[in-house]
Amino acid sequence: MSSIFCPALFIAAPSSGQGKTTITAAIARYHRLQGRKVRIFKMGPDYLDPQILEQASGHPVVQLDLWMAGEEYCRHQFYKAAETADLILVEGAMGMFDGEPSSADLAATFGIPVALLMDVKGMAQTAVALATGLANYRDDVRVVGLIANNCASERHRQLIADALPSELPLLATISRDPEISLPERHLGLVQASEVSVELEACFNKAAEMIAQGELASLPEAIEFKQCNLPAVPRTLEGKRIAIARDEAFSFIYAANVQLLEDMGAELLYFSPIRDEQLPTADALWLPGGYPELHAKALAENHHLKVQIRDFYCADKPILAECGGFMYCLESLRDLEGQQFSMLGLLDGDAAMRERGGCQGMQFAVLPEGELRAHSHHRSAAENTPAPISYGRRQRHPAPGEAIFRAKGLTASYLHLFFPSNPSALTALFAAKEA
């Protein structure tokens, strides 16, 4: 088994909201400006952070999760990146030890050194105590230093630096500056495509702060071992799959797209907001996103709605995930309480709400087989028909998300990770024989 050595660093934090995406993007942008090729991976089932990180690094960002994707898939992705990268960065999820598996588990499995990021607002030596405790919590995780985010002054920085033990150096200090804060909304960060110009200024200013510390140098090179995954059968050869992709529907794993292409499918993208013509296709994929922010435009695109309904009536395969599921219902009530007419392929109404819905990792239990998936939404579906099944949660006995089927339509709040079961995916997208 061959291996490659490549500099790598895992950015982890004590909790969410510490600034992981901002700082990971800043490190990537700094090294990109030095002419280096930076590859970033995002821990967990996240769609928004990867959009930000892709713009910062100039390369697609792949989501990695030991439960959803498996160790061999993750190993393969790291090795492929190490073949061409000058630096590999991994942004963790939630707190460093939160979840099963956690960010710490991913870092430990592949021996990636961890830079601990902490928002130090309102504390100094206490931040050091917390950092030291996290660094020594597990023997199999190697923390190589602290990044102090939201630092108020040079004196604040000095207090932290003086209190740190020698084995836990201060890698970087990020000043308290609203100009490097990333904009957020109800499901997380605002999509990169909506604030592209503002992000450039944010990245470049944060990169200047990275230039002042140890992170301006490449971290140590670590070994990434080769893992050759089995070749995927081209079971979708000749199939044309239309995929909704615009500001309303953008929650698309790069891994899902890659798998469809590897299986031989021809992918045709269209915008449910702007396009009046549905591509000529054998199957349709309506992924998640923010349909609630574009409900009026979706409702008023009557030509496309008619064509999607005709596609449904022809009993062709349609996969609708989360936002795509909401689009398939009769109506959608947005954040301001306004109600708009949707496709009406499935009985029911979607409504935005204050609290989150059913969250977390689940198995999508389908007649074609089980796929690994996750759920994260701030809406509820009401007056829907009886589901064909429910998602099975990773570790909790309560039923997960409802899964609906009508004609060739499969719809749910679940976001599927296609590589977890390519054969089930083939059956899901394969058109019925006439």
DSSP string, 361-414: EEEEEETTEEEEEEE--SEEEES----SEEEEESS--SEEEEEEEETTEEEESP
Q: Residue 265: CB partners within 8 Å, gap ≥ 6?
A: 236, 237, 239, 240, 241, 429
Q: Which helix H or strand E contains 62, and what residues bound it? A: strand 62-64
Q: Find the largest Cα–Cα distance for the chain.
A: 75
* pLDDT grade for 29, boundaries at 50, 70 and 90: very high
Residue 205: per-residue pLDDT? 86
- Identity of the residue numbered 167: E
Is residue 194 pLDDT above 70, yes or no?
A: no
* pLDDT grade for 197, boundaries at 50, 70 and 90: low
Q: How many CB atoms lie within 10 A of CB 303?
A: 10
Tell me, yes or no, if the pTM score tops 0.85: yes
Q: Residue 20: CB partners within 8 Å, gap ≥ 6?
A: 11, 12, 13, 49, 91, 92, 117
**Which tokens belong to 234?**
């081209």
Residue 196: per-residue pLDDT? 57
* pLDDT grade for 24, boundaries at 50, 70 and 90: very high
Give the separation between CA 163 and CA 157, rounded to whole angstroms: 10
Percent of the chain with pLDDT over 70: 93
Assess whether the region 3-225 and the region 240-429 belong to the same CATH fold.
yes
Q: Residue 162: CB partners within 8 Å, gap ≥ 6?
A: none
Average pLDDT over residues 385-397: 91
The closest alpha carbon to 272, from 241, 310, 245, 233, belongs to: 245
Q: How many CB atoms lie within 10 A of CB 365?
A: 18
Q: Which of 74, 202, 322, 358 is catalytic?
A: 322
* pLDDT grade for 180, boundaries at 50, 70 and 90: low
Q: What is the DSSP letter of 132?
A: H
Domain boundaries along the sequence of the chain: 3-225, 240-429
pLDDT (tens digit per residue) in 315-337: 999 999 999 999 999 999 998 89
Residue 185: per-residue pLDDT? 41
Residue 49: per-residue pLDDT? 86
CATH architecture for segment(s) 3-225: 3-Layer(aba) Sandwich (3.40)
Give the separation between CA 51 and CA 42, rounded to whole angstroms: 10
Percent of the chain with pLDDT over 90: 79
Residue 191: per-residue pLDDT? 55
* pLDDT grade for 377, boundaries at 50, 70 and 90: confident
Residues 106 and 74 sit within 8 Å (Cβ to Cβ):
yes
Is residue 272 pLDDT above 60, yes or no?
A: yes
State the SS3 of 97-123: CCCCCCHHHHHHHHCCCEEEEEECCCC
The closest alpha carbon to 78, from 47, 100, 107, belongs to: 107
Q: Taking all residues of the chain, what is their mean pLDDT, rounded to a whole number?
A: 92
Give the separation between CA 86 and CA 18, rounded to whole angstroms: 26
**Please, what CATH class does the domain formed by 240-429 belong to?**
alpha beta
Is residue 249 pLDDT above 80, yes or no?
A: yes
Average pLDDT over residues 298-309: 97
Is residue 359 pLDDT above 90, yes or no?
A: no
Is residue 391 pLDDT above 90, yes or no?
A: yes
* pLDDT grade for 143, boundaries at 50, 70 and 90: very high
Q: How many CB atoms lie within 10 A of CB 243?
A: 22
Is residue 12 pLDDT above 90, yes or no?
A: yes
* pLDDT grade for 186, boundaries at 50, 70 and 90: very low
Average pLDDT over residues 279-286: 98
Residue 322 designated active-site: yes
